[in-house]
């Protein structure tokens, strides 16, 4: 069997005897006989490292890793600089716990402080937490932050990622609140409908920028409406896009959240990812999760600690702002190293190259027979129609190692391009699409 216990059988006996026991069984005498397991668990016996590796390699080999990815919809195929994993694989970072003991966790704490700063810069907000589970839970927590006794209405645009919407709904089910959906119009939030839905109970409005269809929402107009209604404005945003797009801070969002996966995390079948959350100053103490603050030690030396813990479950228990304990610390560090390696210029290139490739893709798809469904400005995702059954097209693309757009309802596909796509790849894709669509 595989074994990570360090003590040998002899040492175990020696230790048992040293403290007055004859066997392991005696250590478990508090466990009532009738609930003790007799015999073995019905799982395989332990294996060697080689065998387990081969078993897992066998499973991994049953997956298809597409060399050409044109799908996003919440998980994005971006380049991860080599330095990112090189840094975050350092054993101290990997194996540490949450930095409860600040004096021997300054590295960890400082890196979170730096992460918080970068998230604030990216979003244009005042304060960031140390991360939550992913973009969907960040959205849910962001929405819950806005609830108060008087205001319990939550409006969410129909043009947000459906998984995010569903996660918000699940969280709201916990709070016994029903989420109201703002309809979409031409692929974006219907502002007229929003205006009508806002009322004195509305706690907040949640939209996504760019939205699920890749479209750039009229974020300023929506913000004005929300604030006129004295509700809070919560925006889910793509972090790469923020290198070039107007920031939530600039259009006066109260809370900005998002999925941090594009900042250095692999697609990894959906996780672990990174939920980032940032807020305006007046919402600071409603932020859930860990927050690191700068302070000084007994000698006046700069240092960092977990702070504002009066919000948290381990202090406040049922009065906490959230139940979150573990977050996605190592993913947040990946995001920090990613942003440091990219710098402003690299981030700009990731954004510009992705958007430009997507526009080139849209053009080529249009020529090939898959016309864009909406005419609004978009970032790096967009919806097209498809003259044939989407399954037929996607299967053909799959044969060529291409993961095509995500099939939506009907004959529609949600496409995505990033800086990892090349012109040659897109031209090839377009050729295949044309061939299939003109059959």
Partner 1 sequence: MKLIFERSVRGRGCSVLPECEVPVWDFQEYGREKELRLPEVSENDISRHYTELAKRTHGVNDGFYPLGSCTMKYNPKINERTAALNGFTGVHPLQPEHTVQGCLEVLKTAEQVFCEITGMDRMTFQPAAGAHGEFTGLLLIKAYHDSRNDEKRTKIIVPDSAHGTNPASAVMAGYAVVNIPSDPDGCVNLQKLREAVGEDTAGLMLTNPNTVGLFDKNILEITRIVHDAGGLVYYDGANLNAIMGVTRPGDMGFDVIHLNLHKTFSTPHGGGGPGSGPVGCKDFLSRFLPSVQVEGDGPYTFTRQPDSIGMVKAFYGNFLVVVKALTYALMLGKDGLLEASQNAVLNANYLMEKLADKYKMPYHRTCMHEFVMSLEQEHEQIGVSAMDIAKALLDYGIHPPTMYFPLIVAEALMVEPTETESKENLDEIIRAFEEIYEQARTNPEVVKAAPHVTPVGRLDEVQAARKPHLKYSYDE
The residue among 225 and 240 lying less far from partner 1, judged by its C-beta, is 240
Which residue, 131, 205, 201, is CA-closest to 168?
205
Q: Are 16 and 22 in contact (CB under 8 A)?
A: yes
Query: Nearer Cβ to partner 1, position 151 or 334?
Result: 334
7 binds its own copies (CB under 8 A): no
Q: How far is the CB of 419 from its own copies (least distance, A)?
A: 7
Q: Both tokens of residue 234?
A: 């919560």
Secondary structure class of 300 (helix, strand, coil): coil
Strand partners of residue 279: 127, 255
Residue where the block lists tokens 């103490």:
285
Taking the least distance from each CB to its own copies, the nearer of 211 and 353 is 353
Nearer to partner 1, 198 or 240 (CB): 240
User: Between 224 and 356, whose beta carbon lies closer to partner 1?
Assistant: 356
Give min distance, CB of 41 to partner 1, in A. Answer: 4
Pattern 87-126, binding to its own copies, x per CB under 8 A?
--xxx-----------------------------------
CB 352 within 8 A of CB 379: no
Q: Which is nearer to its own copies, 346 or 385 (CB)?
A: 346
Quick check: bond before 150 cis, omega within 30? no
Minimal distance in Å, beta carbon 52 to its own copies?
Answer: 10
Q: Which two tokens stand for residue 360?
A: 């080139």
Is 425 a binding residue for its own copies by CB under 8 A? The answer is no
The least distance separating its own copies from the CB of residue 50, rounded to whole angstroms, comes to 5
Number of residues located near its own copies, criterion CB under 8 A: 12
Q: Which is nearer to partner 1, 198 or 306 (CB)?
A: 306
Report the site for its own copies in 43-62 (rule: CB under 8 A): 49-50, 53
The residue behind tokens 């496409």 is: 415
- The option from partner 1, its own copies, none interacting with 253 (CB < 5 to 8 A, set by class) reads none
Write the CA distances from 49 to 2, 216, 262, integer angstroms: 7, 49, 32
Phi/psi class of residue 343: alpha, beta or left (left: φ > 0; alpha: ψ in -120 to 50)?
left
Give min distance, CB of 422 to its own copies, in A: 9
Q: What's the CA gap between 160 and 405, in Å, rounded?
A: 17
Q: Write down the least CB distance from residue 75 to its own copies, Å.
A: 19
Question: Is 37 near its own copies (CB under 8 A)?
Answer: no
- Least CB distance to its own copies at residue 156 (A): 36
Work out which of 184, 217, 419, 425 binds its own copies, going by CB under 8 A.
Answer: 419
CB 430 to its own copies: min, Å: 21
User: Which single residue is written with the structure tokens 């049953």?
Assistant: 62
Give the C-alpha distances (Å, rounded to integers) separating 426 from 12, 110, 187, 254, 367: 63, 42, 24, 39, 12
Q: Which residue, chain included where needed, has tokens 């975050």?
A: 88
Instruction: Answer yes or no: are the C-beta atoms of 394 and 384 closer than 8 Å.
Output: no
Of the candidates 186, 223, 219, 218, the one whose C-alpha atom is nearest the C-alpha of residue 382 is 186
CB 380 within 8 A of CB 354: yes
* Among partner 1, its own copies, none, residue 171 binds (CB under 5-8 Å by kind): partner 1
The residue (of 50 and 149) whose beta carbon lies closer to partner 1 is: 50
* From candidates 81, 303, 377, 385, binder to its own copies by CB under 8 A: 81
- The residue ranges that bind its own copies (CB under 8 A) are 49-50, 53, 79, 81-82, 86, 89-91, 419-420
């Amino acid at each position: 069997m595989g074994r990570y216990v360090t003590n040998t059988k002899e040492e175990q006996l020696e230790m048992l005897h040293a403290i007055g026991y004859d066997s392991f069984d005696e250590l478990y005498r508090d466990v009532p006989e009738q609930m003790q397991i007799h015999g073995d668990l019905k799982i395989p016996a332990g294996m060697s490292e080689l065998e387990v590796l081969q078993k897992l390699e066998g499973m991994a080999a049953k997956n298809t890793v597409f060399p050409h990815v044109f799908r996003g919809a919440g998980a994005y195929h971006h380049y991860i600089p080599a330095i990112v994993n090189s840094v975050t694989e350092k054993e101290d970072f990997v194996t540490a716990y949450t930095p409860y003991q600040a004096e021997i966790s300054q590295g960890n704490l400082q890196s979170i402080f730096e992460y918080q700063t970068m998230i604030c810069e990216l979003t244009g907000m005042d304060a960031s937490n140390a991360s939550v589970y992913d973009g969907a839970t960040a959205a849910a927590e962001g929405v819950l932050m806005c609830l108060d006794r008087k205001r319990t209405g939550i409006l969410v645009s129909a043009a947000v990622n459906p998984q995010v919407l569903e996660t918000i709904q699940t969280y709201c089910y916990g709070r016994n609140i029903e989420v109201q959906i703002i309809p979409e119009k031409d692929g974006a939030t219907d502002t007229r409908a929003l205006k009508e839905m806002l009322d004195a109970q509305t706690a907040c409005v949640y939209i996504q920028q760019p939205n699920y269809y890749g479209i750039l929402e009229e974020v300023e107009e929506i913000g004005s409406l929300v604030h006129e209604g004295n509700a809070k404005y919560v925006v889910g945003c793509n972090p790469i896009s923020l290198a070039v797009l107007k920031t939530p801070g600039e259009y006066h969002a109260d809370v900005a959240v998002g999925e941090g996966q594009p900042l250095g995390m692999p697609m990894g079948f959906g996780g672990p990812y990174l939920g980032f959350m940032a807020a305006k100053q007046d919402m600071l103490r409603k932020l859930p999760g860990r927050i690191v603050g700068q302070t000084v030690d007994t000698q006046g030396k700069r240092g960092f600690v977990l702070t504002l813990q009066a919000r948290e479950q381990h202090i406040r228990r049922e009065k906490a702002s959230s139940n979150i304990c573990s977050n996605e610390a190592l993913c947040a560090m990946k995001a920090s190293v990613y942003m440091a390696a990219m710098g402003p210029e690299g981030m700009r290139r990731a954004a510009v190259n992705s958007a430009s490739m997507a526009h080139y893709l849209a053009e080529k798809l249009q020529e090939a027979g898959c016309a864009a469904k909406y005419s609004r400005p978009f970032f790096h995702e967009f919806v097209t129609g498809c003259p044939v059954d989407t399954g037929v097209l996607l299967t053909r693309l799959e044969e060529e190692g291409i993961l095509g757009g995500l099939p939506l309802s009907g004959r529609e596909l949600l496409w995505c391009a990033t800086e990892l796509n090349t012109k040659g790849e897109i031209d090839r894709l377009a050729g295949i699409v044309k061939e299939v669509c003109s059959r």
